[in-house]
């Protein structure tokens, strides 16, 4: 772990320091638990209540912050500054092994660049190409004719099926599978007949795939995950789907086959998308939404089936009021029946008098 003065940290982050610039700090922590030698950050106003009691040496805040706190580093984007502070103090995970472990199985036709680190029980198949700076943790399998760019990291037990293509700086976390057969069957004469999945998967530059994800190869052509896109854990992508650049997919979300997704789209946890539809740039799909139709660029949807966010919120508010509405309807119905009885009795009495 590194250490530096607050003045050095502020300069590194491009921020403006208010406080003792000579104070030494050694890490980053939440406002509630930060120690006197750690910095913290405030990127969400609802956490401002912790500022007064925080023991942090300094807090990263927005440039226009006007709340409590004597030692502050004002930044244009405090959350991004927090990210950069984390990099400065803690860095990223580094492998604990060097070179190629003798227990790895590397086909003689594979081309492995200088400096690649390969752990035990890794399988590198025929005609695979691996670029410089890559790290393959124990148990990784790389299928025939796959290509891996520069500075990629494959964590334990990652499986890349044949002809998978990774760009530069791609990370795939443990137990994820890329390039398995798509879910393609032709139903005929009462049986499901498998369709050969002759396509492949491409993960473009700077893609990060979480743990236990699955990305199916296409029936024909590529399944594509666009540059800069990030997956959480347990994400599933169907065959032939194409995600644009810089999309975010949160845990347990999934997209069925042959769906076209634009750039900068967000899929919240457990969101599900049917196949063969289009989702425009910068669309946002809320948690547990079930998308069954095209989504326009910039549109936000929620619910199952997914509808525009404003409509979904109104529907949810109405649903929360349903027990009260039902009780009111029961009361009104009873009163209506009572009124009908009274009116009927009045009519009968009037008829008796007239007779």
Asked if 107 contacts 88 with a C-beta cutoff of 8 angstroms, the reply is no
Note the pLDDT of residue 319: 85
Tokens 């398995």 sit at which residue?
180
User: Residue length, the chain?
Assistant: 355
Note the pLDDT of residue 285: 98
Asked if 43 contacts 89 with a C-beta cutoff of 8 angstroms, the reply is no
- Neighbour-count burial of 275, counting CB atoms closer than 10 A to its CB (0-12 exposed, 13-18 middle, 19+ buried): middle
Note the pLDDT of residue 345: 73
- Torsions phi, psi for 352 (to 5 deg): -65, -40
Note the pLDDT of residue 1: 61
> Nearest Cα to 8, choosing from 89, 78, 76, 80?
89
Catalytic residue numbers, as ranges: 239
Q: Which residues of the chain are under the pLDDT cut of 70?
A: 1, 347-355
Note the pLDDT of residue 316: 86
CA-based angle 145:151:155, to the nearest 5? Answer: 75
Note the pLDDT of residue 68: 87
Note the pLDDT of residue 349: 66
Note the pLDDT of residue 130: 99
- DSSP for residue 128: -
Residue 221 zone, left/alpha/beta (φ > 0; ψ -120 to 50; rest)? left
What is the H or E stretch that residue 18 is in?
A: strand 16-18
Cis peptide before 163 (omega within 30 of 0): no
CA atoms within 13 A on the CB side of 191: 4
CA atoms within 13 A on the CB side of 185: 8
- Neighbour-count burial of 80, counting CB atoms closer than 10 A to its CB (0-12 exposed, 13-18 middle, 19+ buried): middle
- pTM of this structure: 0.88
The CA distance from 209 to 229, in Å, is 8
Task: State the DSSP string of 187-205.
Answer: EETTEEEEPP---EEEE-T
> Nearest Cα to 174, choosing from 243, 106, 92, 234?
234
Asked if 192 contacts 207 with a C-beta cutoff of 8 angstroms, the reply is no
> Nearest Cα to 171, choosing from 122, 221, 133?
133
> Nearest Cα to 235, choosing from 215, 221, 258, 220?
215
Pairing of strands 242-243, 236-237: unpaired
- The pair of three-digit structure tokens given for residue 138, joined into one six-digit string: 């124990």
Q: Which residues pair with 135 in a beta bridge?
A: 117, 153
Distances from the Cα of 234 to the Cα of 51, 68, 79, 158, 285, angstroms: 36, 41, 26, 13, 17
CA atoms within 13 A on the CB side of 28: 19
Pairing of strands 300-302, 307-308: antiparallel
Note the pLDDT of residue 43: 93
What is the H or E stretch that residue 236 is in?
A: strand 236-237
């Amino acid at each position: 772990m590194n250490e530096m003065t607050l003045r050095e940290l502020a300069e590194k982050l491009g921020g403006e320091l208010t406080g003792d610039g000579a104070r030494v700090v050694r890490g980053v922590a939440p406002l509630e638990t930060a120690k006197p030698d750690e910095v913290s950050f405030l990127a969400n106003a609802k956490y401002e209540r912790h500022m007064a009691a925080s023991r942090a040496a300094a807090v990263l805040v927005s440039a226009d912050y006007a709340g409590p706190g004597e030692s502050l580093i004002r930044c244009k984007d405090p959350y991004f500054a927090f990210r950069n502070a984390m990099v400065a103090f803690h860095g990223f995970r580094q492998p604990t092994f060097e070179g190629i472990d003798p227990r790895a199985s590397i086909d003689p036709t594979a081309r492995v660049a200088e400096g690649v680190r390969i752990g035990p029980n890794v399988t590198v198949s025929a005609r695979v190409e691996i670029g410089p700076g890559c790290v393959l943790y124990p148990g990784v399998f790389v299928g025939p004719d796959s290509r891996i760019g520069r500075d990629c990291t494959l964590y334990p037990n990652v499986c890349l099926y044949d002809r998978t293509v990774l760009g530069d700086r791609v990370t795939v976390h443990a137990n994820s599978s890329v390039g398995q057969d798509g879910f393609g069957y032709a139903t005929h004469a009462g049986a499901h007949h498998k369709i050969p999945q002759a396509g492949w998967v491409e993960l473009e530059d700077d893609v990060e795939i979480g743990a236990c994800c699955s990305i199916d190869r296409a029936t024909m052509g590529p399944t594509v995950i666009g540059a800069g896109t990030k997956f959480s854990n347990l994400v599933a992508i169907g065959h032939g789907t194409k995600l644009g650049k810089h999309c975010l997919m949160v845990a347990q979300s999934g997209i069925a086959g042959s769906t076209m997704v634009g750039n900068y789209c967000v899929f919240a946890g457990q969101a599900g998308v049917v196949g063969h539809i289009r989702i425009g740039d910068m669309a946002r799909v809320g948690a547990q939404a079930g998308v069954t139709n095209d989504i326009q660029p910039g549109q936000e949807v929620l619910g199952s089936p997914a509808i525009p966010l404003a409509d979904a919120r109104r529907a949810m508010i109405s649903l929360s009021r349903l027990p009260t509405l039902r009780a009111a309807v029961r009361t009104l119905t009873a009163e209506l029946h009572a009124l009908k009885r009274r009116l009927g009795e009045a009519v009968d009495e009037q008829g008796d008098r007239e007779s």
